[in-house]
Structure 1
């Protein structure tokens, strides 16, 4: 396979560093072993940090032979992007799971093929649940058999 060369401005390289870091973090955050292909790309991108004058954001850990983000810069990226993503995806996934539960109660657990009417009903259920959660948060959720 051929090689691809990119010419980036310093600002574009900074965004590439952030993108690669966040993507690699997402892929590897739930694994016991790092994905080597993602790690190889991360290393390749971070290795150019001096050319972009990012010594304040990227560090080379010579004893381990790896490049990494400065701890403060890494924390800033996690706070800025991951926290917001986690918050959004939590509510989105909660609505989805509660709608799954409601649909299973109405139509049974095995809904291999949903009809148009069922899909429309699911959308309405999701909207209703989403609106309720916006109004009350999780304070009104009840999981007891009362």
Structure 2
């Protein structure tokens, strides 16, 4: 099997650690069992922490045989990147789902591939919904449950 060597500055290595942690977290956060291939790469990257002088951010858990991020560093990464991503993707998905609902109400259930005209209409609807949500947030959204 071929091998790949990388030369990184300490700063680049720290960014790689952040990227690997965030990527592995995203892949595994919704699973009952860890994706071992991602975990293997994570472990390989984190194992080089001493070479980059990151003993204050990464440690080796000898009893478990793994490397782990300092809890404060991990929390900082989650707060900085994941919360912002979650907030953005929430609004993006909300607009998408509301546009889906509006398209079905106006034009019925989709029948095959959307035409250019339908795509244009959908984009207009998404833009209108996005603008409305920017103005009001969720305060004007309603749910009509079964009575």
Query: 2:64 matched to which residue of 1?
Result: 64
Question: In the aligned structure 2, how far is the partner of 1:93 from the partner of 1:21?
Answer: 24
| CA distance, structure 1, for counterparts of residue 112 and residue 79 of structure 2 | 39
Task: Give the CA deviation at 1:107.
Answer: 2.1
CA deviation string 1:72-120 (max 9, x = no partner): 0000000000000000000000000000001111222234211111000
- The 3-state SS of whatever aligns with 1:5 is coil
SS in 1 for 2:31: coil
TM, length-normalised to structure 1: 0.97
Structure 2, unmatched stretches of 5+, are: none
> When the two structures are superposed, what TM-score results if normalisation uses the length of structure 2?
0.96
Name the counterpart of 2:98: 98
Paired residues for 1:1-146 under 5 Å = 1-144=1-144
Question: C-alpha root-mean-square deviation of aligned residues, in Å?
Answer: 0.9
Query: Quick one: distance in 2 between partners of 1:55 and 1:63?
Result: 18
User: What per-residue deviation string (whole Å, max 9, x for no partner) do you get for residues 37-93 of structure 1?
Assistant: 000000000000000000000011000000010000000000000000000000000
State how many pairs are aligned: 145
What is the distance in 2 between the residues matched to 1:108 and 1:31?
Answer: 35
Q: Tell me, what secondary structure is at the counterpart of 2:67?
A: strand
Cα drift, residue 21 of structure 1: 0.1
Distance 2:97 2:87 in 1: 16
Residues 6-62 of structure 1, C-alpha deviations (whole Å, 9 max, x = no match):
000000000000000000000000000000000000000000000000000001100
CA–CA distance in 1 between the matches of 2:48 and 2:111?
51
Q: SS in structure 2 opposite 1:68?
A: strand
